[in-house]
Amino acid sequence: MSLENKSASYIFHLLKKGGISARELLKDCRERFNERDHKLNAFVATSWKRAEKKAKKIDEKRKAGEELPPLSGIPIAIKDNMARRRDTMTCCSNFLADFYPGYSATVVEKLEKAGAVIIGRTNMDEMAMGSTTEKSAYFPTRNPHDLHRVPGGSSGGSAAAVGGGIVPLALGSETGGSIRQPASFCGVYGLRPTYGRVSRFGLVAYASSLDQIGPFAADLDDLWLIFCHLAGKDERDQTTFAGKDLKRMGENFDPPGLRVALPREYLEKVEDEEISKRLEHVCVSLEKAGVKIEEVSLIDPIRALAVYSVIATAEASSNLARFDGIRFGPEPEGVDNWEDFIKKSRAEGFGEEVKNRIALGALVLSSEYRKDYFDRALMVREEIRKELEELWQRFDLILSPATPTPAFELGSGMEISLQKYMSDILAIPASLAGMPAISLPAGLNEDGLPLGLQLMGPMWSEPLLIDFAEFIKQITGFGAEVKFRAEGGSGS
């Protein structure tokens, strides 16, 4: 029995009633993995034996009549920057090639407690620094809709694993758009929670004031299900908050009268006409349903990108100082002093993108430039946050495109290097403000590539975001585009 394109909720219901076993679920997942991942390269490591032991225990509990938690038997993938005890964690960097953490991240513990069967670790841009998953130390991941195109990044492996139908759910992490952008490129849902809603304990830090863990899913109810299991206060992460109650309106959701802002500065950054047309179609459909849509002036995303580039690289420079070749990483030979030891270790362990961002971060934190760059960026970040807070006095949500373009071609070269950085540009304001946002599918273009839209809301508004995304799906028919095109798609 193939359960491809079936929701996690449906699969669990089937498992609970005895219609399928957890081991059969795992076998079904493994068959799709064997068929597809040698072309997708979504995974950098798998743990089938460990998964089989977990599936066996779940089946034994069900036969014994024990109550099963709601993610029982569901195959799930995690990004390669989240710790799992007795498992590798490399962040797709040569620096951590032989690293085995002695503990698990809080999100991993919560997933396993909820019965999820973790099948492996997904590919990513090294140290989460990139927008295409081409910066992995291993290999690039490919877009399931067109194997000649990128899946986005840095959580491209997780997005491709869900978008390619290997798993129904996966975890990613996001600093400036690394969940929402690949979700858009791969045709699935991706949620960036409110900063502090989900624990970062056990996540390898890129930029601590921006990083957040969130889920990918092909079904909104599944996205909500896994999010509810991830959210909550964690004593091991002092930036977490209990937040507001996690309660959706569901069938009682009443969208007429909701006020939705459409930022013209975001619209001006869109380079693809079909994305603009899909957004227009959604707006017309919403207005017919009684939702109030108004175009507004908001933060220029270019300004937000500049602020993000300074803050993220500065924090990365500080966070990655621990990688010195002693506690982690390759131990270089042929050096006889401490300074050269560290330099050579980092030169051998890190790729160019990581070294460039560390260097930029060190520069903006230097005494000569800190006041003009880092301190000023913090001030502008606060201005952006206040501007959004003021907007919530008049509007309930912000609707925009998720990315300026669909997924671009792998190995495009330096001529579109700026495009790669700009592909996250519409996601960055929410990241800087710590506010939740969701990427939602908007159908396929003429080349069969997914298009995506974005909803942003005030702090703790994840229930509203998901309910409204479900409403958009109902009135437009736009849902997740789970598909594996083995021949490569339009670029083949």
What element of type H or E holds 442?
strand 437-444
Please state, in angstroms and rounded to a whole number, the distance separating the CA atoms of residues 71 and 448: 32
Please state, in angstroms and rounded to a whole number, the distance separating the CA atoms of residues 345 and 331: 6
Of the residues 21, 47, 154, 431, which is catalytic?
154
Beta bridge partners of 259: 292
Coil/strand/helix, residue 180: helix
Burial status of residue 86 (CB atoms within 10 A of its CB: 0-12, 13-18, 19 or more): exposed
Which backbone phi and psi does 117 adopt, to 5 degrees?
-105, 105
Of the residues 104, 178, 184, 400, which is catalytic?
178
Q: Note if 178 is an active site residue.
A: yes
Question: What is the separation of C-alpha 468 from the centre of its chain, rounded to a whole number of angstroms?
Answer: 20
Q: Note if 79 is an active site residue.
A: yes
For residues 210-235, one letter each, b for 16 or more C-beta atoms within 10 angstroms of the residue's C-beta and e for the rest, the string is: bbbbbbbbbbbebbbbbbbbbbbebe
Query: DSSP labels for 334-381?
Result: S--SHHHHHHHHHHHHS-HHHHHHHHHHHHHHSTTTTIIIIIHHHHHH
H helical segments located in 213-336? 220-230, 264-267, 273-288, 301-319
Of the residues 79, 110, 135, 269, which is catalytic?
79
Q: Note if 16 is an active site residue.
A: no
Please state, in angstroms and rounded to a whole number, the distance separating the CA atoms of residues 182 and 77: 15
* Amino acid at position 289, single letter: A
259-263 and 292-296: which strand pairing? parallel
Coil/strand/helix, residue 191: strand
Give the CA distances from residue 220 to residues 152, 170, 471, in Å, rounded to whole numbers and listed in that order: 21, 13, 11
Active site residues: 79, 154, 178
